[in-house]
Amino acid sequence: MKRGRSITQTESSTYLNEALAIWVRDLRSEFRTRYAVNAIIMFAVTTLVAVSFSIGSFRIADDEKSFLYAVLLWIILVFSALSGLSRSFVKEQEAGTIDTLKLSARPQAVFLGKLFFNLTLLASLELIIVPVFVLLMRYPIAHPVPFVANVVIAGLGLGAGTTIVAAMIAQASTRGALFSALSFPLLLPLMIMAIKGCEQASVRLGPVGWAEVRMAFAYLVIMVIVSLFLFPLIWEE
């Protein structure tokens, strides 16, 4: 008996199941097309090589290394992320699949699925770039645990911030410029916290950067909660 079957089955579905389905689909598509990965990795590797060759570890005084390396690391991470993370929604718009997705999935599930996908991309980026940056620049890290915590939590915040901005700009005609313009004020507080946290984690004396980890975590929680409320409004017409 097929009549009315959709109603009971729709109610039995959970947001998490739908989000996971979207995440897996995006990963599968990305694996086959390498749409965002290529953009992110190419940007990251190019800037990393340029920085390491032009500055290296020997041109900077030891007492300035902790601050300048933190700045350079986060410039590479943030701008690499900006070069590829907007694609998650833009690709749906360009391929004409966005309305099919609107008819099928609930907005919050779409946001979570896209967020999981962007976080996966960012995690891959950080796994490659951070160790290579530390090795190439001979980055002196006095407190590895808070340093890694800063990179991970601020990375999650970066993913949450760029995902909601990507959703906002997907239907605009000047997407590239708009994405950077909207992301910048949203990500600036997070960047400042992340730079300070990484700097403190690399200095032997003084605070080790846990306060910045907590602030970055608060940023992440606020960003995800606000986005879950805001996204349905963006997702509608």
Partner 1 sequence: MYLLKVNSICKYYSRTLLFKDVSFELAGGDALAVTGWNGSGKSTLMRIIAGLIRPSSGTVSMYYQDEVVPTDSRRRFVGMVAPALSLYDELTAIENMVFFCKVRGVESREDTCRDMLRLVGLDDHAHKLSGRYSSGMKQRLKLAQALLHHPPLLLLDEPGTNLDSKGMQIVWDIIEKQKQWGMTVIASNEKREVDYADRIINLSE
Looking up tokens 């400042």 gives 192
Instruction: Report CA 144 to chain centroid distance, whole Å.
Output: 22
> In whole angstroms, how close is the CB of 23 to partner 1 at the nearest point?
11
In the complex, minimum distance from the CB of residue 84 to partner 1, in angstroms, rounded to a whole number: 17
Cα torsion 123, 158, 200, 129 to 10°: value is 40
Separation CA 16–CA 201 (nearest Å)? 35
Q: Is 38 in the site for partner 1 (CB under 8 A)?
A: no
Residue with Cβ nearer partner 1 (25 or 138): 25
Give CB contacts under 8 A, 24+ apart, made by 193-197: 193/154, 193/219, 194/70, 194/74, 194/150, 194/151, 194/154, 194/157, 195/67, 195/70, 195/71, 195/74, 196/70, 197/146, 197/147, 197/150, 197/154
Contact flag: residue 170 with partner 1 (CB under 8 A) = no
Q: Kindly tell me which of 219 and 235 has the beta carbon lying closer to partner 1.
A: 235
8 CB neighbour count, 10 Å cutoff? 8
The span of 15-23, 172-180, 185-193, 202-210 binding partner 1 (CB under 8 A) equals 15-23
Closest by CA position to 224, among listed 164, 170, 152: 164
Q: Is-contact 209 197, C-beta < 8 A?
A: yes
What is the rounded radius of gyration, in angstroms, for the C-alpha atoms of the chain? Answer: 20
Closest approach of partner 1 to the CB of residue 42, in Å: 20
Does 12 engage in binding with partner 1 (CB under 8 A)?
A: yes
**Residue 105 beta carbon to partner 1: minimum distance, rounded to whole angstroms:** 4
Instruction: Assess 28 for contact with partner 1 (CB under 8 A).
Output: yes
What does the block give as tokens for 145?
A: 């645990």
Q: In this chain, which stretch among 6-14, 39-47, 49-57, 140-148 interacts with partner 1, using CB under 8 A? A: 6-14
Closest approach of partner 1 to the CB of residue 29, in Å: 5
Q: Is 36 in the site for partner 1 (CB under 8 A)?
A: no
Among residues 16, 33, 124, 225, the one that binds partner 1 under rule CB under 8 A: 33
Q: Which CB sits closer to partner 1, 13 or 46?
A: 13
Question: Which amino acid makes up residue 153?
Answer: I
Q: Which is nearer to partner 1, 3 or 204 (CB)?
A: 3
Widest Cα–Cα separation across the chain: 76
By CB under 8 A, what part of segment 88-117 binds partner 1? 95-97, 99-107, 109
Name the residues that contact partner 1, by CB under 8 A: 2-7, 9-13, 17-18, 21-22, 25, 28-29, 32-33, 95-97, 99-107, 109, 232, 236-237
